[in-house]
Amino acid sequence: MRVLVVEDEADLARQLKDALTDAGYAVDLATDGEEGHYLGASEPYDAVVLDLGLPVLDGITVLERWRRNGHLMPVLILTARDRWSEKVAGFDAGADDYVAKPFHMEEVLARLRALVRRAAGHASAELACGPVVLDTRSGKVAVAGQPVRLTAQEYRLLAYLMHHQNKIVSRTELTEHLYDQDFDRDSNTIEVFVGRLRKKLGVDVIQTARGLGYRLSPPADGA
């Protein structure tokens, strides 16, 4: 899962990026509205954390332009605690949720998880596919109740497929959503991670759609 953070306060931007990376996201960072607008308009993100008080181009303008051009990714805005008008303006511009500064990082993570789940059509924090269960709150995975240890990349891959169950996801789409913009992307590595993931899960939930990509669905035998 890939997230864009648009924040001009260097310390806060770093804290957000570190926390999101630790939570299993691939994170891109923009430090002004112009750069943030460009990235949000040109790269596919599963969610955006957008500060409203940005240099060059303010957050409201950035958000309005994204929505006007049909970019539908969930957006969590950061506002000043005493500026209720900012919250109203943010929602009117197309925001999905907000957090007031100063905030607890766990609240940001929880709200982002909820936004990503809802955007993919899921209500529960636990995503299940047959015997495979992924808890988005803890980042833990289990098969038939037994914990499975995954690397960060394997977890990110499984999380994306779990959020998009029963849909064919191309290698290109996976590559775009698993890596940040600075990563040396190679779609061939997706095949390697899929192979490792299949071996660790030990159940047939990841099917190959020849020439198209992969689909996550429960095993045919219901195991």
Last residue of a domain, one of 119, 143, 160: 119
In the sheet that holds 206-209, the strands lie side by side as: 168-169, 213-216, 206-209
Domains in the chain, number: 2
Last residue of a domain, one of 74, 91, 119: 119
Q: In CATH, what number is assigned to the domain containing residue 106? A: 3.40.50.2300
Residues with Cβ within 8 Å of residue 60, at least 6 apart in sequence? 52, 89, 90, 93
| pTM reported for the whole predicted model | 0.87
CA distance 172 to 186: 9
Q: Do residues 66 and 143 share a domain? A: no
**Which residues in the chain show pLDDT less than 50?**
none
Q: What is the pLDDT of residue 159?
A: 95
Tell me which residue range forms the domain holding 71. 2-119
Give per-residue pLDDT as tens, 32-73.
999 999 999 999 999 999 999 999 999 999 999 999 999 999
Q: What is the pLDDT of residue 185?
A: 58
Last residue of a domain, one of 99, 119, 139: 119
Residue 140 sits at φ, ψ, to 5 deg, of: -100, 150
User: Is residue 49 in some structural domain?
Assistant: yes
Q: Do residues 108 and 134 share a domain? A: no
CA distances from 75 to 3, 18, 190 (A): 10, 19, 27
Q: What is the pLDDT of residue 182?
A: 64
Q: What is the pLDDT of residue 89?
A: 92
Residue 28: its H or E element: strand 26-30
Q: In CATH, what number is assigned to the domain containing residue 165? A: 1.10.10.10
Q: Do residues 82 and 145 share a domain? A: no
Count other Cβ atoms within 10 Å, centred on residue 202.
Answer: 13
